[in-house]
């Protein structure tokens, strides 16, 4: 039986987190999209006003996964929530409960901070993840479609701002 643990990331974990990000991008079939550098992740996690937080999952003392998250805000609830940006467990460590342990810790953080919800996105082709999340009681939000502005489209829209 494997021993599963979850702890908060430290500054020493930055290279590991960057590697997990690259591994996740590879799994999600977009390795070229992972542009984050150790300096960027260090600043995001450990600057004076951190943009996000990170949990490290260990199996038998070895780091095998991570969950990177931040707060969002619901105007309807009038409270902040927790948004899970990335969850990744190395393929060799899947099936021992690490993903569930990471999400359970994140759920506890949400409750401890008075957050009424924990949300995340999942690629529609990632059937193993969808099945895993459903097994935990997560439900897809019907009627919602994610939209994104980036690159040239973002710059074109920003150009409409009057000085």
Choose the catalytic residue: 114, 121, 133, 160: 133
83 classed as catalytic: no
Provide the β-strand partners of residue 67.
Answer: 55, 87
Helix-strand-coil percent breakdown of the chain, rounded to 5? 40, 25, 35
Residues marked as catalytic: 133
């Amino acid at each position: 039986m494997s021993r599963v643990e979850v702890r908060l990331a430290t500054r020493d974990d930055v290279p590991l987190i960057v590697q997990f990000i690259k591994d996740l991008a590879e799994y999600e079939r977009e390795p070229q999209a992972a542009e984050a550098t150790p300096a960027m992740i260090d600043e995001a996690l450990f600057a004076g006003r951190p943009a996000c937080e990170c949990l490290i999952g260990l199996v038998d003392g070895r780091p095998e996964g991570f969950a990177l998250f931040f707060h969002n805000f619901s105007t309807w609830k009038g409270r902040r929530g927790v948004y899970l940006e990335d969850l990744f467990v190395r393929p060799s460590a899947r099936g021992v409960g690490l993903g569930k342990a990471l999400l359970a810790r994140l759920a506890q953080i949400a409750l401890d901070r008075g957050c009424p919800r924990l949300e995340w996105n999942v690629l529609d082709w990632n059937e193993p993840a969808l099945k895993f999340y459903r097994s935990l009681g997560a439900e897809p939000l019907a009627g919602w479609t994610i939209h994104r502005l980036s690159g040239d489209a973002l710059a074109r829209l920003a150009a409409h701002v009057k000085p």
